[in-house]
Amino acid sequence: MSKRPYVVASAAVSLDGYLDDTSDQRLLLSNEEDFARVDDVRAGVDAILVGAGTIRTDDPRLLVRSGGGNPAKVTITESGDLDPSARFFTTGDVDKLVYTSAAAVPSARARLGPVATVVDGGDPLDLHRVLADLAGRGVERLMVEGGGAVHTLFLTAGVVDELHLAVAPVFVGEAAAPRFVGPGRFPPGRLQLTETRRIGDVVFMRYHLGQAARDQRRLREAIALADNCPPSTTFRVGAIVVDAHDQVLATGYSGETDPHDHAEEVAIAKLGPAKPRAATIYSSLEPCSARSSRPVTCTQHILDAGIPRVVFAWREPSVFVDCVGAETLRAAGREVRELPELAELVKETNAHLPF
């Protein structure tokens, strides 16, 4: 499967599941504080995508209001029928990418060529091709802000990693108003709810889907494993190795059998000579790349074991050494995912260290 960005889908909905009403005015479902939250999410991504329908209806700017750098702007359109004077194109000194179906490329280039890069998205437009193209342009995190057709497309294609929903305390009650999603074959089963937050009169909900949900769950387990570590003057770390089907192959924690043990080293040793293809190692801390306790670093153990995927929560702070585990693994072609939102949990287990 080709590489794609990590996708965060974000929407504000009414109590009855609408994104907007049918009036000419854009319906503000978020409150000020919630718009600030959305702004933070925008600031943390490489690109924001909305459908052509949202550009025509809302005329959004899609900029980060709090200042700093703006992400690129992206849209998809089957027709290519977009107005070059829309604020999507006229605001923000950032790349504007328009993905359209092959047949519409010439007319879209003629209309939008001066204000955007028009990209052939296939015939008909192929979402996986669009996402692979974005990844090729350096987009690692993509925020999808709607509208309903686009949320339906992304969710039914199974390419959403996180879903952010803000529920506003209003009813819309108009059958012709746009819904959050239309009918379709959505990811089966229950999504993993990873956060709920009251934001004034709005309720914010965050879900993880698919591999992102499994990563959240396993990394939390690895973090909890570190509670077993004996008292220590160094890092207390937990690690879990799973196979391609998310079955646990081995676990480890710092000091499990000897005070010098590192968590990843213990877990990998339990694998024996087997080189599990398509395995993932979860570690609460970035794998070490320099150590004084033993000659082989955990980064090297991971490379030697042929583990292709590494997920960790906390970048090693420079308490003992300057760690370059993540960079080294990436440079060696391993997939490395960092979930910094779980780092606070790891810090709690390591409160004995002066970081």
Ligand X SMILES: NC(=O)C1=CN([C@@H]2O[C@H](COP(=O)(O)OP(=O)(O)OC[C@H]3O[C@@H](n4cnc5c(N)ncnc54)[C@H](OP(=O)(O)O)[C@@H]3O)[C@@H](O)[C@H]2O)C=CC1
Ligand Y SMILES: Nc1c(N[C@@H]2O[C@H](COP(=O)(O)O)[C@@H](O)[C@H]2O)[nH]c(=O)[nH]c1=O
* C-alpha count within 13 angstroms, C-beta hemisphere, residue 107: 12
Q: How far is CA 114 from the centre of its chain?
A: 31
Which of ligand Y, ligand X, none is residue 148 near (CB under 5 to 8 Å by kind)? ligand X
Which of ligand X, ligand Y, none is residue 149 near (CB under 5 to 8 Å by kind)? ligand X
Whether 23 contacts 125, CB under 8 Å: no
- Secondary structure (DSSP) of 277-322: TT-EEEEEEPPPS--SSSSS-HHHHHHHHT--EEEEEEPPPTTSS-
Residue 42 engages ligand X in binding (rule: CB under 6 A) = no
Which of ligand X, ligand Y, none is residue 81 near (CB under 5 to 8 Å by kind)? ligand X
Among 7, 9, 19, 329, binds ligand X (CB under 6 A): 19
Measured distance CA(12)–CA(41) in Å, rounded: 14
Cis bond before residue 147 (omega within 30° of 0): yes
Nearer to ligand X (CB atom), residue 86 or residue 279 = 86
Q: Which stretch binds ligand X (CB under 6 A): 141-149, 194-202, 216-224, 321-329?
A: 141-149
Residues that bind ligand Y (CB under 6 A): 12, 26, 28-30, 38, 50, 54, 58, 60-63, 145-146, 166
- For 312, other C-beta atoms within 10 Å of its C-beta total 30
Q: How far is the CB of 287 from ligand Y (least distance, A)?
A: 37
Whether 46 contacts 142, CB under 8 Å: yes
Nearer to ligand Y (CB atom), residue 61 or residue 337 = 61
Residue 105 engages ligand X in binding (rule: CB under 6 A) = no
Residue 20 engages ligand X in binding (rule: CB under 6 A) = yes
Query: What is the binding site for ligand X (CB under 6 A)?
Result: 11-12, 19-20, 26, 29, 50-54, 57-58, 76-79, 81, 125, 145-150, 153, 178
